[in-house]
Amino acid sequence: MTASLTVENLSVRYRTPHGSVHALRHVNMEARPGEVIGIVGESGCGKSTLVTALANLLPANASVDGSIRYGALDLTGLDERHRRALRGDEIALVGQDPMTAFNPVLTIGDQLIDFQHHRKDIGRADKKNRIADMLAKVGISDADRRMANYPHELSGGMRQRVAIAAALLTDPGLLIADEPTTALDVTMEAQIIHLLRELRREYNGVIIVVSHHLGVIAELCDRVYVMYAGEVVESGDVDAIFHDARHPYTRALLACDPARFHERLERLPTIPGSLPSLTQLPVGCVYAPRCADCFEPCPVHPPPVVRLSADHAVSCHGARA
C-alpha cells in the first residue's frame, strides 16, 4: 500500500520527575507517496520524538495529542494490537546508531528472518532468499556469510546497510530514517547517502529522513521541515529552504552549515544561546530569546503561520511584513 501521511496538530509530552517535557507542539506535516521529506533542527528539538510518534514507538511516559493519518488509518486512535500489526509492515524505522540496533547474541540472518514475521505466506527458505536479494540491493554481496555473522562482526557502515535492508524487507509504505549517517564517518556517510539516493528511484512510498546535517537533506529530499524546540518553524521544498529561507532560525542554521564554508575559518560559527527549557516554555515565539531580528510582538505573542506559497510556510512575526 502507498498512501499519504498527514500529521495534524501533533503534540507529544513526556512525563518526567521534573515535570512535563513538551517535546512536540502543534506540528503539521504532509507527505505524498514518492516524496522524500527531510526534517532538520538542532539536537534536542524533537526530531526523533516526531518520527518515533509516526512509527508508533513512543515510550510509555509519552502522551500524544492531535492526529497522524496514514491513508485512511488514524494512527493515534489505534489500539496496541493494530499498532503492532502496522509496525514492520507499513511503517519501518531505521535508527541512528547501527552499532546498537541489532541484538548482539543473534545472527543477522536469524534477526532478518524474524523481522519478516508479518509475511505468513512464505517459508523460511523464501525469507532467506528475500534477505539475500535485499542485501545485494544495499551493496552486500556475500549474503550467506553475512547472515551467519553476529552484528559485532560487521562494520558500522555495513550494519547501517543491513538496517536499511531490514526496513526494505518489509515493503513499507512509509520508510523513516532517523539520522541514518550521524554515527558514521564521512566516507561511510557518503556511501549511505548514495545508497538512499539509489533506493528512492525505485521506491514509491513516503521516505522521511531526519538529519541535522543540511548536506544530507539537500542531496536526498524533496521537501524540508525545519524544527526548533518542538515546533515546525519553516517548511517548504528544498529550493525554497536553501535559497529563500524566511525564518531567522533557518537562516542561522544555513549560516552554520560547515559545508557552506569554503574559506578556512578559525572556528565554525554557531547560533548563540541554547534551546529553551521544554518544561517551561516562553509565552511568545520560542526562538525570540536567540533571534537576531526579534522585535516587539515576538516575546509576547506566538507567531502566526505565514503561507508564502503553496508549499512554503513559516511561523514568524517578521515574515508578515
Partner 1 sequence: MLTYAVKRIGLGLLILVFVMVTMYAAVFLVPGDPATVALGPRATPELKRLLTERMGLDQPVWWQIIEFFRNALTGNLGYDVWSNRPVSTLVLEALPNTLILGTTALMTALILGVPLGCLAVVKRGTLADHLIGVLSVAVIAVPSFVVAIYSLLLFAVTLRWLPAIGAGEAGDIGSQVRALILPALAIALGWIGYISRMVRASMMEVMNEPHIRTARSFGLPEWKIVSKYALRIAIIPTISLVAVGLGGILSSAVFVEAVFSRPGIGKLITDAVNTRNYPVVMGTVLMMTAIYVSITIAADLLIARLDPRVRDVFRG
Ligand X SMILES: Nc1ncnc2c1ncn2[C@@H]1O[C@H](COP(=O)(O)OP(=O)(O)O)[C@@H](O)[C@H]1O
Q: Which residues bind to partner 1, rule: CB under 8 A?
A: 55, 57, 84-89, 92-93, 95, 97, 100-106, 111, 114-115, 117-118, 150, 152-153, 163, 166, 170
State the amino acid at position 306 in one-letter form.
V
Minimum distance of Mg ion from residue 179's CB (angstroms): 6
* β-strands 36-40, 62-70 pairing: unpaired
Helix (H, G, I), strand (E, B) or coil at 20: strand
Binding ligand X by CB under 6 A: which of 9, 61, 63, 309? 61
Residue 33 in contact with ligand X, rule: CB under 6 A: no
Q: In b/e form, how buried is each residue of 41-75, taking b as 16+ CB within 10 angstroms? A: bbeebbbbbbbbbbbbbbeeebebebebbbeeeeb
Residue 46 in contact with ligand X, rule: CB under 6 A: yes
Decide which of ligand X, Mg ion, partner 1, none touches 23; Cβ closer than 5 to 8 Å per partner kind: ligand X
User: Residue 63 has which C-alpha cell?
Assistant: 502522551
Nearer to ligand X, 16 or 103 (CB): 16
**Residue 78 and residue 56 in contact, taking contact as beta carbons nearer than 8 Å:** yes
Which residue of the chain is nearest ligand X when measured via CB?
Answer: 48
Helix (H, G, I), strand (E, B) or coil at 258: helix
Minimum distance of partner 1 from residue 57's CB (angstroms): 6
Decide which of Mg ion, ligand X, partner 1, none touches 97; Cβ closer than 5 to 8 Å per partner kind: partner 1
Of 45-53, 72-80, 161-169, 298-306, the segment contacting ligand X by CB under 6 A is 45-53
Helix (H, G, I), strand (E, B) or coil at 159: helix
Residue 103 in contact with ligand X, rule: CB under 6 A: no
Question: What stretch of H or E contains 187?
Answer: helix 186-202
From residue 54, alpha-carbon distances to 1, 51, 71, 208 in Å are 16, 5, 13, 10
State the Cα–Cα distance between residues 315 and 321, nearest whole angstrom. 13
Of 1-9, 40-48, 183-191, 250-258, the segment contacting ligand X by CB under 6 A is 40-48
Contacts of 123 (CB under 8 A, 6+ apart): none
Instruction: Write down the residue that cell numbers 505468513 correspond to.
Output: 120
Minimum distance of ligand X from residue 16's CB (angstroms): 5
Decide which of Mg ion, partner 1, ligand X, none touches 136; Cβ closer than 5 to 8 Å per partner kind: none
State the Cα–Cα distance between residues 132 and 235, nearest whole angstrom. 39
User: How many chain residues interact with ligand X (CB under 6 A)?
Assistant: 15
Decide which of partner 1, ligand X, Mg ion, none touches 298; Cβ closer than 5 to 8 Å per partner kind: none
Residue 274 in contact with ligand X, rule: CB under 6 A: no
From residue 68, alpha-carbon distances to 33, 38, 144, 160, 167 in Å are 15, 17, 39, 28, 21
Residue 16 in contact with ligand X, rule: CB under 6 A: yes
Minimum distance of Mg ion from residue 24's CB (angstroms): 12
User: Residue 169 has which C-alpha cell?
Assistant: 524487507
Residue 48 in contact with Mg ion, rule: CB under 5 A: yes
Nearer to partner 1, 178 or 234 (CB): 178
Residue 49 in contact with ligand X, rule: CB under 6 A: yes
Which residues are at the interface with ligand X (CB under 6 A)?
Answer: 14, 16, 21, 23, 41, 43-49, 59, 61, 278
